[in-house]
């Protein structure tokens, strides 16, 4: 018991990561494990959405519990202050809200020159309001619950030891791994003529690489604002674009080509941010 307590005290971020993945994966498997194992189509299986909603409980529940465990009520007050911090320069709202749609929109529009299958979903939607309203709701809710943990707890603590780039890569990779069961369920019925031995590895690697690149940008923005609210908006914008408004092809080779292009452009955006503002900023005193 003393050894376990000592580890928890010395490694709060590792503790957060381990508990978050354990709670999220356990919840997903309890609700949707049968569908995942059977390889059912995620788009028609009624267990998929409840399973993902249960998975989403991991980051906020663990984030709040770890905040109490390691920082007490003072930590909770600090989290609330950062969550409602809205007085930041308007340029950070622009980066948070427009970054994802600009990147994804440019990729899809460029690819659409070769095939109309890449046209953003909003272009072909017969009822745009029916697409936008749930997109905004899911985006903001998803961003809120996740960022209570990733940005609310893990990132400030990592920034006391690492720079922006390293912190973003660490959290981004863990964030990607956290999605693995969800990606497995989606990917297992999305081959569409592509060998599973090719589709799944490319899908997994590009998804994790994209999430890591975007997380680096999120850490950069948080580092300049100290606002969890801005992180929520930036995360929400990514969900709204990638899953709804600009939803790309979801199967076969078109999806893989899009995924590779999206990753390349996202990392180019990281490179631009590094060149313009620098991502090797020294560790922050915030915790």
- pLDDT digit string (tens) for 194-218? 999 999 999 999 999 999 999 999 9
**Sequence-ordered list of residues with C-beta below 8 angstroms from that of 159, at least 6 positions apart, any chain:** 167, 219, 223, 283, 284, 286, 287
Give the domain extent around 73: 2-276
* Tokens coding 15: 């503790």
Band of pLDDT at residue 1, cut at 50, 70 and 90: very low
Supply the mean pLDDT for the chain. 94
Residue 282 belongs to some domain of the structure? no
Q: Above 90 in pLDDT, residue 282? A: no
Rounded Cα distance, 186 and 248, in Å: 14
Classify residue 286: in a domain, yes or no: no
Q: Write the pLDDT tens digit of every residue in 113-149.
A: 999 999 989 988 889 999 999 999 999 999 999 999 9
The verdict on residue 128 lying in a domain is yes
Residue 287 placed within a domain: no
pLDDT digits (tens, 9 = 90+) for 67-76: 999 999 999 9
The alpha carbons of the chain give a radius of gyration, in whole angstroms, of 19
Q: What is the DSSP letter of 153?
A: I
Residue 281, domain member (yes or no):
no
Instruction: State the Cα–Cα distance between residues 3 and 233, nearest whole angstrom.
Output: 39
What is the rounded distance in angstroms from the CA atom of residue 132 to the CA atom of residue 236? 13
**What pTM was estimated for this model as a whole?**
0.94
Assigned domain for 285 exists? no
Angle at 225 between CA 82 and CA 238, to 5 degrees: 90
Domain count, the chain: 1
Strand extents, DSSP E, 184-235: none
Answer yes or no: is 105 within a domain.
Answer: yes
Nearest alpha carbon to residue 231 among 155, 133, 134, 136: 155
Whether residue 283 is contained in a domain is answered as no
Question: What pLDDT score does 284 carry?
Answer: 61
Only one residue has tokens 């909003």, namely 122
* Res 97 pLDDT > 80: yes
């Amino acid at each position: 018991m003393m050894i376990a307590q000592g580890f928890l005290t010395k490694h709060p971020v590792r503790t957060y990561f381990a508990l978050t993945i354990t709670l999220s994966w356990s919840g997903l498997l309890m609700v949707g494990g049968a569908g995942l194992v059977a390889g059912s189509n995620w788009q028609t299986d009624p267990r998929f959405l409840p399973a993902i909603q249960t998975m989403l409980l991991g980051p906020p529940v663990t984030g709040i519990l770890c905040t109490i465990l390691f920082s007490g009520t003072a930590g909770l007050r600090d989290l609330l202050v950062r969550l409602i911090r809205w007085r930041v320069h308007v340029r950070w709202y622009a980066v948070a809200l427009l970054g994802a749609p600009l990147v994804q929109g440019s990729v899809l529009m460029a690819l659409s020159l070769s095939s109309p299958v890449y046209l953003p979903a909003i272009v072909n939607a017969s009822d745009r309001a029916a697409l936008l309203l749930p997109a905004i709701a899911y985006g903001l809710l998803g961003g809120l619950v996740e960022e209570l943990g990733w940005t609310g707890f893990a990132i400030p603590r990592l920034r006391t030891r690492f720079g922006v780039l390293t912190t973003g890569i660490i959290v981004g990779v863990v964030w990607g791994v956290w999605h693995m069961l969800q990606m497995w369920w989606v990917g297992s019925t999305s081959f569409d003529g592509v060998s599973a031995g090719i589709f799944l590895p490319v899908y997994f690697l590009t998804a994790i690489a994209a999430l890591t690149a975007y997380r680096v940008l999120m850490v950069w923005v948080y580092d300049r604002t100290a606002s969890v609210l801005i992180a929520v908006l930036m995360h929400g914008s990514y969900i709204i674009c990638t899953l709804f408004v600009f939803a790309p092809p979801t199967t076969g080779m078109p999806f893989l080509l899009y995924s590779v292009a999206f990753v390349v452009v996202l990392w180019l955006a990281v490179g631009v941010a590094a060149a313009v503002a620098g991502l090797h900023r020294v560790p922050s005193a915030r915790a």
